[in-house]
């Protein structure tokens, strides 16, 4: 019975450690998300971020684009 108790205690300690790490990761990521939606005349803009495991791995942002000589260039890099 003592061995079972000790094993459960170690599992509990590991779970508490993981929960703390997830909470810290979530707090670090939160300020990186957009704080305001961009205002674009004629468009309704919305965004959201749902964490799948407490921290998430996806990142989104709204970037301002510049037009030069009537041309706009948009570059998107996607990494699997």
Three-state secondary structure of the chain: CHHHHHHHHHHHHHHHHHHHHHHHHHHHHHHHCCCCCCCCCCCCCCCCCCCCCCCCCCCCCCCCCCEECCEECCCCCCCC
Q: How many domains does the chain contain in total?
A: 1
Q: Is residue 20 part of a domain?
A: yes
pLDDT at residue 30, rounded to an integer: 76
**Confidence class of residue 13 from pLDDT cuts 50, 70 and 90?**
very high
Predicted confidence (pLDDT) per residue in 22-61, tens digit: 888 778 777 777 788 877 777 787 777 666 665 556 667 7
Q: Is residue 25 part of a domain?
A: yes
Domain coverage including residue 33: 2-72
Q: Is residue 79 part of a domain?
A: no
Q: Is residue 78 part of a domain?
A: no
pTM above 0.85, yes or no: no
Mean pLDDT across the stretch 7-11? 90
pLDDT at residue 77, rounded to an integer: 62
Q: Is residue 30 part of a domain?
A: yes
- Of the two residues 63 and 76, the one the predictor is more confident about is 63
């Amino acid at each position: 019975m003592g061995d079972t108790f000790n094993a459960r205690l170690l599992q509990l300690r590991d779970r508490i450690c993981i929960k703390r790490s997830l909470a810290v990761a979530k707090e670090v990521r939160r300020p990186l998300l957009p704080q305001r939606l961009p205002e674009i005349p004629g468009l309704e803009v919305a965004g959201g971020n749902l964490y799948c495991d407490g921290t998430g791995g996806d990142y989104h942002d709204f970037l301002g684009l510049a037009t030069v000589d009537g041309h706009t260039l948009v570059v998107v890099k996607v990494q699997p």
